[in-house]
Amino acid sequence: MINKFDSKKNILRYPALILILVTGVLTIVGSNGTRTVTIAPSPLPPKQGDITNVRITASEKEELSQIEYSVNGLNGTRPATDVPFDVTLNTCKSNGNYRTTLTLEAEATYNDNEVRTNEQQYDLTVGDNLREDIDLDYAVYVSKGSNKDEEVMLDIANRFRSKFNSYSESQYHWSQKRYYKDEAIQYANSVDMAFSIGHGNHHYYLSSDGELDLSQTEFGNFTPCNANGDLEYLIFISCLTLSMEEVSATPFWYYWFHKESTKFTKKPFTGLHMVLGFRSTTRFNSYHWGRWRTWDGKNFVREFANKINSGWAIADAWIDAASDELKQSDGRNLAAVLYLREYENDTIFTEENDYIYGNDNYSSPGQKVMVYLD
């Protein structure tokens, strides 16, 4: 199909010339130069995960013979009587159809043998540019626990809420696993920043109803399929959630970022910009909670909120606040930030494209996947 298009372009891409012999006189008649064949994908621009509808049509239908088309290798021919017509392609990776590009071609042939062509190609690894919606908002989720735990966690949450004023608060809940998984599009993936407080472990967060394996979550513009996630920044005040240790010879980044063999599965970075948290055991236990409440915890989130309000790079603000906490007499919380290099200097006001595995900005760990340590 494509080779046929290429050969015809070389010969008939311009209006055909028709030779007519009338009363012994050779007359050259130029065909109508305004004929067009149109390809209109919807949504526009399409992105990976969309069910994309492609409408193909041509002008001067009464003179049209047929249209040949190719939609990512799905080829066909339609007679003039079918024009305009639609071709639908599901790019959602969950059905095993992982598309990184969308190539559209159409060739209209008219009764006088004139041929008009149209070609378009879209990169499906780039999500919506700018913000996914017009709201700049955040959510705060707190894990239920013992009375003392809850008191400290609520203190920390409320200090952040009282200081962070650049986004509007849209949610403040006791955490539930469904907020990050089955119902994420209504909760964590519906806001620009999700701030979670509780206990944790290597790539885990302990929500109010049990352990959440974050390696089985998806956040960002590309998930869930056929929807439009919003989350850029995922934050955890919890032990070890961003631990750098290997687990059974598996490197830590495997639990967060895609590679070729995992691109059909769930991982957090599917348009997500950053995860901020701690790589050590924090003072999240009964012995140390008091200091978090009276100094470290509330001052840490206060400092972080003030810095990002004033335009600091988010990663710098997190690490700097953690470094200040380490200077305290009992300081020992080691912070980390995971991100794609594209977002290294993100502020809370930055408007960057979102990317998925397969894009040059989402390369193999060690090249584009970055770890920022205190």
Q: What is the pLDDT of residues 241-293, one digit of tens each?
A: 999 899 989 999 999 999 888 888 899 999 999 999 998 776 533 334 444 44
Q: What is the pLDDT of residues 54-65, one digit of tens each?
A: 999 999 999 999
Sorting pLDDT into bands at 50, 70 and 90, what band is 370?
Answer: low
pLDDT score at 223: 82
pLDDT score at 51: 86
The two structure tokens encoding residue 251: 């490197």
Sorting pLDDT into bands at 50, 70 and 90, what band is 94?
Answer: confident
Q: What is the pLDDT of residues 11-41, one digit of tens each?
A: 333 333 333 333 333 323 334 568 999 999 9
Higher-pLDDT residue of 144 and 98 is 144
Q: Mean of the pLDDT values across residues 153-182?
A: 96
The distance from CA 261 to its chain's CA centroid, rounded to whole angstroms, is 19
Q: End-to-end CA distance of the chain: give it in Å, rounded.
A: 56
What sign results for the dihedral spanned by CA atoms 72, 90, 361, 363? negative
Q: How far apart are CA 368 and CA 97, in angstroms?
A: 25
Q: Where are the domains of the chain?
A: 2-123, 137-373
Q: Mean of the pLDDT values across residues 62-77?
A: 95
* CATH T-level assignment (fold) for domain 137-373: Rossmann fold (3.40.50)
Nearest of 350, 155, 335 to residue 233 by alpha carbon: 350
* CATH T-level assignment (fold) for domain 2-123: Immunoglobulin-like (2.60.40)
Q: How many CA atoms lie within 13 A of 114 on its CB side?
A: 22
Burial zone of 13 (CB within 10 Å; 0-12 exposed, 13-18 middle, 19+ buried)? exposed
pLDDT score at 371: 63
pLDDT score at 329: 52
pTM: 0.82
Question: Of the given ranges (25-29, 148-152, 177-181), which has the lowest mean pLDDT?
Answer: 25-29
Q: Mean of the pLDDT values across residues 2-18?
A: 37
